[in-house]
Chains A and B, each alone.
Chain A
Amino acid sequence: MSHAPTGVIERPTPASPGPKSSLGSRSLPRLAPLGFAVVSVALGVGVSLAAGWESRIQWGLISALLFLAISYVATTIVENQRQARDRLATSVMWVCFLVAVVPLASLLWTTIVRGSERLDGYFLTHSMAGVLGSEASGGVYHALIGTLEQVGIATVISAPLGLLTAVYLVEYGKGSLARAVTFFVDVMTGIPSIVAGLFILSIMLMFSLEPSGLMGALALTILMVPVVVRSTEEMLKLVPNELREASLALGIPKWRTILKVVLPTAIGGITTGVMLAIARIAGETAPIILLVFGSQLINTNPFEGAQSSLPFYIYEQYRIGEAASYDRAWAAALVLIAFVMILNLVARGIARWKAPKTGR
């Protein structure tokens, strides 16, 4: 490195035609990545067809790898090494994004296309009472009622329980009790839903209780509480300590500070957390099979007798194995996805509405 001291000046400048500029340099047109994508997809498909590969997934992966290679090489030649690395990182992110989104979009698409065949007012307002599996009739009403009631009861129990636990952990808890609670919440987060179901089943057998919507709701509660605790805890931690101090310094008691200052500040995030927890338990099947037993009839009383639920209904219809029951299963899946989607939208709406206002 004998040139080291003057290296900056003597560095060979890239052979760039046109006006000399110390800051500007040659660059690819803005739409270049799109061109790379088209070329690489074409190449990928061509290569795969030539080699006689069938799998579309293989085509896609080959195209993705080609895209990465082409954009890196082209950028190295036209621009420089640093730009090429930058473009490689960007491309990797885009490819990963597509790999994540394509299955999701495909799932949504399939469910909407297949589900909308049977989804109508009749489907939503009728049960399966007296309908044979092969008949293209019947509906999801009883399962919808079941899901709403079971999820509703689980929410009514676990939202306050989780909220209060989180308030304890963030605002009051210190020492070994808080650590123990945190530990058990973590453990509970990992409980498989079937285990929660078995736990309630053992209690049910111990007291010789009958299967009912309530039993299912209790198992769902076990699954929901840790999710609510975790998300609420994170939201409460985000509330700046200065607000608590400001309130305490006004001579406001701690419990009122929490109720009137801390919780309102975090309410948007807490609502989102609860809604996501609901979305999670709405799709649980295992505890329902064990504890609610399933039914073809409308039972609006969650405290007595077997009920159905949407995930259970899907499982049941799919197992019948007739064309008509497949249609019903897809339609019910669409109803379930719509239910969760609506909850999410409601949660976002509440979060936006309740978020601390910053405007003038």
Chain B
Amino acid sequence: MAKRIDISGLNAFYGSHKAIEDISMTVEPRSVTAFIGPSGCGKSTFLRTLNRMHEVTPGGRVEGKVLLDDENLYDANVDPVTVRRTVGMVFQRPNPFPTMSIFDNVAAGLRLNGSYRKSELNDIVERSLRGANLWNEVKDRLNKPGSGLSGGQQQRLCIARAIAVEPQVLLMDEPCSALDPISTLAIEDLIGELKERFTIVIVTHNMQQAARVSDRTAFFNLAAVGKPGRLIEIDETERIFSNPSVQATEDYISGRFG
């Protein structure tokens, strides 16, 4: 199920502006890797390069290699659509499809890919909603519109939608930044359960969250405004938060800058 990601020498651009520079790291399978760092340092951009969503942005361009179990996502013969089926994504703001019911939202990935059997669909939707800890709250109103749920429920709906297509890797771009503490807790618990099955990468601004949910943490920083973001260090989360090897990381974590 879960796959390892090896990134080497990755640069990403918006037009002529270089957003991130020379990033190399390994993301371990069946674990949670957190990206922390100040705003604008390219964490989200980097995350979006991992499922080829960066190139959807006008002017977006990527150089370098992203190996998903030895397959380079940026090989010329790789179809970005297949990549995105393998590497799912949850966004900062919950974005359920407004025209679809809760059921249809979860089923959207399968239906619109055309790769499902009708008899399986009910099971997959139920399994995904259970997986996202949402089933008990919505099982009686699966045909109601997804936009009628609360923010936290919508975000869990989006997670259910993402895991319904059985990706290998799940990318989460600040999934809790628009949510209250209780919904955040629900999602963090969920991340803990999901890492049994998926490789999870999460971008977060909340360092307690990174410390709580992640196994490994990567710290990004940029030299100055307008300069590209870089990976400063990546290590076991415990080490990053107790005894980081780079001074800049310690300064950031202890709140001395950034």
- Across chains A and B, the number of contacting residue pairs, with CB separation under 8 Å, is 88
Q: Which residues, 264 to 289 on A, are CB-close (under 8 Å) to B? A: 264-265
Q: Residue on A with the closest CB to B52?
A: A248
Taking a contact as CB atoms under 8 Å apart, the answer to whether B98 and A247 are in contact is no
Taking a contact as CB atoms under 8 Å apart, the answer to whether B147 and A357 are in contact is yes
Taking a contact as CB atoms under 8 Å apart, the answer to whether B84 and A251 are in contact is yes
Stretch at the interface among B11-19, B25-33, B105-113, B199-207: B105-113
Residues on the B chain within 8 Å of A359, using CB: 144-145, 148
Residues on the A chain within 8 Å of B165, using CB: 250-251
- Interface residues of B toward A: which range? 20 to 34
A249: interface (CB < 8 Å): yes
Residues on the B chain within 8 Å of A249, using CB: 51, 53, 84, 88-89, 91, 162
Residues on the A chain within 8 Å of B127, using CB: none
Residues on the A chain within 8 Å of B95, using CB: 240, 242-243, 245-246
Stretch at the interface among A13-21, A252-260, A315-323, A325-333: A252-260
CA distance A246 to B146 in the complex (A): 14
Which residue, of A174, A240, A246, A252, has the highest number of chain B Cβ atoms within 10 A?
A246
Q: Which residues, 162 to 213 on A, are CB-close (under 8 Å) to B? A: 174
Taking a contact as CB atoms under 8 Å apart, the answer to whether A242 and B91 are in contact is yes
A358: interface (CB < 8 Å): yes
Taking a contact as CB atoms under 8 Å apart, the answer to whether A247 and B97 are in contact is yes
CA distance A2 to B116 in the complex (A): 83
Q: Taking A243-B98, A260-B112, A357-B147 as contacts, is the C-beta distance between A251 and B82 under 8 angstroms?
A: yes
Tell me the interface secondary structure of chain A in the complex.
helix
Residues on the A chain within 8 Å of B53, using CB: 245, 248-249
Residues on the B chain within 8 Å of A46, using CB: none
CA distance A354 to B148 in the complex (A): 16
Residues on the B chain within 8 Å of A240, using CB: 95
A261: interface (CB < 8 Å): yes
CA distance A248 to B60 in the complex (A): 15
Can you give 25 contacting A-B residue pairs, CB < 8 Å? A242-B91, A242-B93, A243-B98, A246-B97, A246-B158, A247-B108, A247-B112, A249-B53, A249-B91, A249-B162, A250-B84, A250-B88, A250-B112, A251-B82, A251-B85, A251-B109, A252-B81, A252-B108, A253-B81, A260-B108, A261-B99, A354-B99, A357-B98, A357-B148, A360-B144
User: A-B pairs with the 8 shortest C-beta distances?
Assistant: A251-B85, A356-B98, A250-B109, A249-B89, A360-B148, A357-B145, A251-B84, A242-B95
Q: Which residues of B contact A (CB under 8 A)?
A: 51, 53, 56, 58, 81-86, 88-89, 91, 93, 95, 97-99, 108-109, 112-113, 144-145, 147-148, 158, 161-162, 165
